[in-house]
Amino acid sequence: MAPPLDAPDFRTIETWIFDLDNTLYQADSNLFAQIESRMTDFIARRLDIHPGEAYTLQHFYFRTYGSTLNGLMICDHVDPEDFLAYVHDIDLSPLHPDPALRPALERLPGRRTIFTNGCRKHAGRVLEQIGLGGLWDDIWDIRTLNFVPKPEPAAYARIVEVGGFAPAAAAMFEDTARNLVPAHALGMTTVFLHNGSRFSLQGPETAPVAHHNFAHEIDDLAKFLQTIRL
């Protein structure tokens, strides 16, 4: 059945950009909680501090430098490869495929890409686990970004450069609101996925992101993708 004429219009979109964690799988899998706990552990060991202190620092870095890793690289000269290998060594068994999501992604015309502050290996493992392997033209990971993470504007300039796409003909899907602000500024069509996770709209210390940065706000990615006009 064709989408109704008043359905969201994505007919000009040629490049489809998806965040990975908590966007392509449900936040209630608590997978990211595992990663966060590995981050705390890594910081406590590496900096030889109490886990409570490590947790506070981790969240300070996330708020201040875009990602915990970026803060660790800038302030503590941590080797990013050590960090990525450690924090992504997690159990993926809580993740299950959403049977509606793969066909919803397959119907999108043009190029499908992943844009993540994590690493390519983690992305590959997760995508296989949730039944979304083999769908992607590119995976832009933190190495692609030269370790400058979302929401730094340089990260977006980098994907436009390596991807060679027109931002006005791109749509970006994200569960972390602040990561859509630079995408909106570049002219991308932004879709904010409410997933109920702690960092989704903003942390408690930071003002919420203004709604005008989102072209669409949704709570079910597969359902949304099945109903848009293409």
Return the number of the residue (44 or 149) whose C-beta is nearest Mg ion.
149
Compute the CA torsion angle 160, 165, 169, 170 (nearest 10 deg): -50
CB of 164 to Mg ion, least distance (A): 24
Closest CA to 87 of 67, 101, 106: 67
- Does residue 36 belong to the site contacting Mg ion (CB under 5 A)? no
- Alpha carbon distance 102, 194 (integer Å): 19
Return the number of the residue (22 or 144) whose C-beta is nearest Mg ion.
22
Q: Strands of 116-197 (E only): list them.
A: 138-140, 170-174, 189-193
Return the number of the residue (21 or 152) whose C-beta is nearest Mg ion.
21
CB of 32 to Mg ion, least distance (A): 8
Q: What is the DSSP letter of 89?
A: -
Compute the CA torsion angle 149, 151, 156, 159 (nearest 10 deg): 40
Helix, coil or strand: residue 129 = helix
- The site string for Mg ion over 174-193 (x = CB under 5 A, - otherwise) reads -xx-----------------
CB of 179 to Mg ion, least distance (A): 7
- Alpha carbon distance 218, 210 (integer Å): 15
* Tokens at 98, concatenated: 């959403």
* Tokens at 7, concatenated: 């359905």
> Which residues partner with 18 through β-bridges?
114, 173
Return the number of the residue (7 or 35) whose C-beta is nearest Mg ion.
35
CB of 117 to Mg ion, least distance (A): 8
- Alpha carbon distance 40, 54 (integer Å): 6
- Does residue 141 belong to the site contacting Mg ion (CB under 5 A)? no
- Does residue 21 belong to the site contacting Mg ion (CB under 5 A)? yes
Which of residues 16, 18, 19, 152 is near Mg ion by CB under 5 A? 19
Residue 104: phi and psi, rounded to 5, are -65, -35
* Tokens at 24, concatenated: 């392509």
- Does residue 22 belong to the site contacting Mg ion (CB under 5 A)? yes
Return the number of the residue (46 or 216) whose C-beta is nearest Mg ion.
216
CB of 77 to Mg ion, least distance (A): 26
Return the number of the residue (126 or 170) whose C-beta is nearest Mg ion.
126
- Does residue 152 belong to the site contacting Mg ion (CB under 5 A)? no
Of 13-21, 84-92, 124-132, 147-155, which segment contacts Mg ion by CB under 5 A? Answer: 13-21
Where does this chain bind Mg ion (CB under 5 A)?
19, 21-23, 175-176
